[in-house]
Amino acid sequence: MFQINENYLKLKAGYLFPEIGRRVAAFSDAHPDAQIIKLGIGDVTEPLPAAVVAGMHAAVDELASRDSFHGYGPEQGYAFLRDPIAEQDYQARGVNVSADEIFVSDGSKCDTGNILDILGANNSIAITDPVYPVYVDTNVMAGHTGEADDAGRYDKLVYLPVTADNNFVAELPTSPVDIIYLCYPNNPTGTVATKETLQKWVDYAREHGSLIMFDAAYEAFVSDPSLPRSIYEVDGARECAIEFRSFSKNIGFTGVRCAFTVVPKDLKATASCGTEVSLHQLWNRRQSTKFNGASYVVQKGAAAAYTPEGRAQMKSLIDFYMTNAKLLREGLEAVGITVYGGEHAPYVWLQTPDGMGSWDFFDRLLDKGHLVGTPGSGFGAAGEGYFRLSAFNSRENVETAIERFKSVVS
Ligand SMILES: *Cc1c(COP(=O)(O)O)cnc(C)c1O
């Protein structure tokens, strides 16, 4: 009889979004005329930039002719995409990342999970609380945790609370950890890290021989030029950090699928036999064996985002969402709600009024305002008492939502 990976049995049954769906469906059934506005799931709403669409059209036409056809491409991605990433996203900002340290893929979600293939099974792992659930669940699946307790906290994971009390900056762990997941600008809290904060983590990692997994999926939303967009803007990060970036949020590729991961050549580990091993080489080996590259058409589309027109269109797309975020922030503050985030990230993280529980607030918002958001407790126990609103929506929906919010809260 074959066996299964029983680590999957430890997973808390994908609770958050199914539970939201269940409550929304029940409300809709009871109130079929209610016009529900969803500010919940972090998916983009606006169409692709025109330059990106043109890039993909041209790529499809190339594939339609024998002379310009492309079959399998490089597993690491085409130079026509890796080069402008290295030049524009890194070198132009004075950051030392070369094109051959960039691995193009079909998503950051899969990369953050797949990276565990090249890491050992006995690392102690730290995550912030609240957190993007993928970091947790992929480690559960890989057998790196024990069972979850009633609050949903897994044995063997180190949880670092981020709340208003610490200004959403996690304290350094009190017992040494080997792997640290950081996401800035942050999903779900919408908060951002300063260079000093990242430096503190990089210094910690170098002192303890730890690895930082830096998720920069929202870097394009950073609007203050003094804030870091990459962990490699911090001294020493090339020796201790892997960075994940995605085209999902900046050019609307959640359905198209393209991302990249940076594994610097300076990043070394020591095998149990004492040999020094390059993580870059391990990841290259992993990708060459288990991945056959992102689609040619999609990479051409992503590359078009690095042309001057593409840059300008990407910027206006981000500006559009960030204006939504600003309206949400201002609208909520006007009715006395305490809000965080939404300045360098497309998420607004609000404190529920009157100390309401996250799910109670969810029900009240749905019932009284026909609005759907995401309960903070769904991202971790320390998210209790908070609530996430996404700025990924039409302007009209955002404006209507703010009006309804006012009537619910006041
Ligand atoms: C949206 C998002 C990503 C992007 O994932 P893709 O698989 O590239 O779409 C990565 N990390 C976080 C925290 C996100 O919210």
SS (H, E, C) 155-190: CCEEEEECCHHHCCCCCCCCCCCCEEEEECCCCCCC
pLDDT of 14 higher than 90: no
Domain ranges, ordered by start, for the chain: 8-47+309-409, 52-307
Distance CA(281)–CA(262), nearest Å, equals 12
Report the separation in Å between the CA atom of 410 and the middle of ligand 1, taken as the mean of its atom positions.
35
Predicted local confidence at residue 146, as pLDDT: 96
Which string of DSSP letters, residue by residue, matches 363-382? HHHHHHH-EE-EEGGGG-GG
Shortest-distance Cα residue to atom 15 of ligand 1: 187
Shortest-distance Cα residue to atom 11 of ligand 1: 217
Predicted local confidence at residue 76, as pLDDT: 98
Query: Is 181 touching ligand 1 by the criterion CB < 6 Å?
Result: no
Predicted local confidence at residue 264, as pLDDT: 98
User: Which of 103, 114, 182, 187 has most ligand 1 atoms within 8 Å of its beta carbon, as the pocket-test mutant?
Assistant: 187
**What is the average pLDDT across 91-110?**
97
Q: What is the pLDDT of residues 250-287, one digit of tens each?
A: 999 999 999 999 999 999 999 999 999 999 999 999 99
Query: Is 89 touching ligand 1 by the criterion CB < 6 Å?
Result: no
Q: Which DSSP helix (H) or strand (E) runs through 406?
A: helix 395-409
Report the separation in Å between the CA atom of 217 and the middle of ligand 1, taken as the mean of its atom positions.
6
Shortest-distance Cα residue to atom 12 of ligand 1: 217
Report the separation in Å between the CA atom of 2 and the middle of ligand 1, taken as the mean of its atom positions.
34
Q: What is the pLDDT of residues 191-200, one digit of tens each?
A: 999 999 999 9
Report the separation in Å between the CA atom of 187 and the middle of ligand 1, taken as the mean of its atom positions.
9
Predicted local confidence at residue 16, as pLDDT: 84
pLDDT of 333 higher than 90: yes
Q: How many CA atoms lie within 13 A of 19 on its CB side?
A: 14
pLDDT of 13 higher than 80: no
Positive/negative CA dihedral, 377, 380, 383, 385? positive
pLDDT of 351 higher than 90: yes
Name the superfamily (CATH) of residues 8-47+309-409. Answer: Aspartate Aminotransferase, domain 1 (3.90.1150.10)
Mean pLDDT of the chain: 96
Report the separation in Å between the CA atom of 69 and the middle of ligand 1, taken as the mean of its atom positions.
31
Query: Is 219 touching ligand 1 by the criterion CB < 6 Å?
Result: no
pLDDT of 18 higher than 90: no
In contact, 361 and 387? CB cutoff 8 Å: yes
* Atom from ligand 1 closest to the CA of residue 246: 8
Report the separation in Å between the CA atom of 251 and the middle of ligand 1, taken as the mean of its atom positions.
13
**What is the average pLDDT across 43-53?**
97
Read off the pLDDT band of 151 (50, 70, 90). Answer: confident
Report the separation in Å between the CA atom of 128 and the middle of ligand 1, taken as the mean of its atom positions.
16
Predicted local confidence at residue 190, as pLDDT: 96
Predicted local confidence at residue 42, as pLDDT: 83
Query: Is 259 touching ligand 1 by the criterion CB < 6 Å?
Result: yes
Predicted local confidence at residue 83, as pLDDT: 98
pLDDT of 15 higher than 80: no
Q: What is the pLDDT of residues 285-320, one digit of tens each?
A: 999 999 999 999 999 999 999 999 999 999 999 999
Please, what CATH class does the domain formed by 52-307 belong to? alpha beta
The 10 Å Cβ neighbour count of residue 185 is 28
Query: Is 42 touching ligand 1 by the criterion CB < 6 Å?
Result: yes
Predicted local confidence at residue 12, as pLDDT: 84
**What is the average pLDDT across 367-384?**
95
Predicted local confidence at residue 150, as pLDDT: 86
In the DSSP assignment, the letter for residue 296 is: H
Predicted local confidence at residue 17, as pLDDT: 85
**What is the average pLDDT across 144-150?**
94
